[in-house]
Structure 1
Amino acid sequence: MHHSRLSTLVIDCQTGDLSDAVEFWSLALGKNVESYDEDGDGKYARLHTENDEPVVLLQKVTHDSRVHLDIETDDIEAEADRLERLGAKRVNKVQDRWWVMEAPSGHRFCVVRQQRKPFGPHLNTWT
């Protein structure tokens, strides 16, 4: 048995400087900036969301700008297996920390480790 839920809306930004994108999305979504540099490497910024809302993360990328979803889980391999059975494909495992997946519709998304503890009210239990 494992658990998963929608975790994060990731705004992928093809930009040299993430701060302008952070300012725009903060104002557009009415969310304060929680961190301009989430991991200290200049690649991630986070907007403030409440515990029952998805995280809104901005990510500096080299590919075209887009939005993708993260699904958080307490068992990354079991969740990736479950999603494969639904028709998704594994695309790339990143540093043994998450899977980039592709839905049958062609959309990319990630399966990541649990981001918030506890999971919260919108938890799915899978067997």
Structure 2
Amino acid sequence: MHRSRLCSLVIDCKVEDIDAAADFWGRALGRPVKPAAPDAGGYRDIETRDDEPIVLVQKVEHPSRIHLDIETDDLDAEVRRLEALGARRVEFIQRWWVMEAPTGQRFCVVRPQRGPLEAHDNTNTWEGEPGKPGEPSEQGG
């Protein structure tokens, strides 16, 4: 058994000035941009409520796009579950997997970003054999 849920929307920006990009997206969404942490690098956080997905603005070298992150308490099990549904692994980066849906969209599978997943009402709990699609259990999802 493992858990997963939609975690974040990441706005990938092929730009020189990530702060200007974050300012645009913050204003477009009507949300303030959080002050950049010293180790933020090419990431900026848009303020969201705890019951909303995280919104990140990320400086990238590939064409600009938006992708989503799925957070999980068992990275390997979630990646196998998604592969069984038709996704494929693209690349492991630091602590997460970049995946590609059978429809071509890229997304990431990441570790929990806002604490333990069982603390959230909108978390799916997955039962079944690793690598088999499975359905959410009755407990969550």
Shift of 1:17: 1.1
CA–CA separation in structure 1 for the residues paired with 2:59 and 2:37: 12
2:111 aligned partner: 113
Unaligned runs of 5+ in 2: 128-141
State which structure, 1 or 2, has the greater radius of gyration over its C-alpha atoms: 2
- Normalised TM-score (structure 1): 0.94
Q: After TM superposition, what 4+ stretches of structure 1 lie above 4 angstroms from structure 2?
A: none
- Alignment coverage as a number of residue pairs: 125
Q: Which amino acid aligns with 1:73?
A: T
Greater relative contact order, per chain length (Cα 8 Å cut-off, separation 6+): 1
Instruction: Give 1 or 2: higher strand fraction.
Output: 1
RMSD across aligned positions (CA): 1.1
Question: Who is 1:67 aligned against?
Answer: 66
Instruction: Supply the AA of the counterpart residue of 1:68.
Output: H
Query: Residue 34 of structure 1 corresponds to which residue in structure 2?
Result: 34
SS at match of 1:24: helix
Distance 1:99 1:39 in 2: 25
- Tell me how far 1:73 sits from its aligned partner: 0.3
- Residue identity (%): 58
Displacement of 1:38: 4.3
Q: Which ranges in structure 1 are unaligned for 5 or more consecutive residues?
A: none
